[in-house]
């Protein structure tokens, strides 16, 4: 069932007409790196997924769109700071577009569960696209509308689309967590299957092995 949903997501987004692609605009304008900020549950998983993608120069795990300055992991885990566990991506839009990043996003987490991803429950685990410009906002809203209209998921998407606010990098031990702790039980049970899915489904987007 999960593989079938992934195929539907990829197919639905790939046939959408979203106007000039970010990649095309980047090539015309000679743009530098851009930022994308996503929340899709535990940031160990989302970081591990995007570390695989060509054109992604860096992925930082952290906390975004909350009301408490300089939160710690312990603070965010209370669910009281308003922050989401998120990742901030620096990417080259001439290599990978925002549309493609969204394709990976919706294929590798459940965007229909409010404030929850599997056993991880709380507002800090909400699904969110935190846009950095009007183009990202437009694309994200249109992708969600099209996926809902096509009934790709059994329930409506609850992913929030909100302007990116201050992003606080998480503590050092959270960075590259999956790469540094592949045998940790949570990583083996939750993060590793997502990474394997990306390597199989998005072969053309995955970085070449060194």
**Catalytic annotation, residues:** 42
* Phi, psi for 120 (deg, rounded to 5): -85, 115
DSSP string, 74-141: HHHHTT-S--EEEEEEEE-TTTS-HHHHHHHHHHSS-TTSTTEETTEESGGG-EEEEESSHHHHHHHH
> Tokens standing for 109?
């987490």
> Tokens standing for 168?
């606080």
Q: How far apart are CA 31 and CA 117, in angstroms?
A: 35
> Tokens standing for 188?
């083996």
Find the farthest-apart pair of alpha carbons in the chain and give their distance in angstroms, rounded: 46
């Amino acid at each position: 069932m999960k593989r079938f949903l992934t195929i539907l997501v990829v197919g639905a987004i790939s046939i959408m007409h979203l106007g000039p692609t970010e990649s095309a605009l980047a090539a015309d304008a000679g743009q530098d790196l851009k930022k994308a900020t996503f929340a899709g549950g535990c940031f160990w998983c989302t970081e591990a997924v995007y570390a695989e993608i060509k054109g992604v120069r860096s992925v930082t795990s952290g906390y975004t769109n909350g009301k408490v300055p300089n939160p710690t992991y312990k603070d965010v885990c209370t669910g009281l700071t308003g922050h989401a566990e998120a990742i901030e991506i620096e990417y080259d839009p001439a290599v990978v577009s925002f549309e493609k990043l969204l394709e990976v996003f919706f294929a590798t987490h459940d965007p229909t569960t409010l404030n929850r991803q599997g056993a991880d429950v709380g507002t800090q685990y909400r699904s969110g696209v935190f846009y950095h410009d009007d183009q990202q906002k437009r694309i994200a809203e249109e992708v969600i509308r099209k996926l809902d209209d096509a009934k790709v998921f059994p329930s409506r998407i609850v992913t929030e689309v909100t302007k990116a606010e201050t992003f606080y990098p998480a503590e050092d031990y959270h960075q590259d967590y999956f790469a540094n702790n592949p045998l940790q039980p949570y990583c083996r049970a939750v993060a590793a299957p997502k990474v394997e899915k990306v390597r199989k489904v998005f072969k053309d987007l995955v970085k070449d092995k060194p």
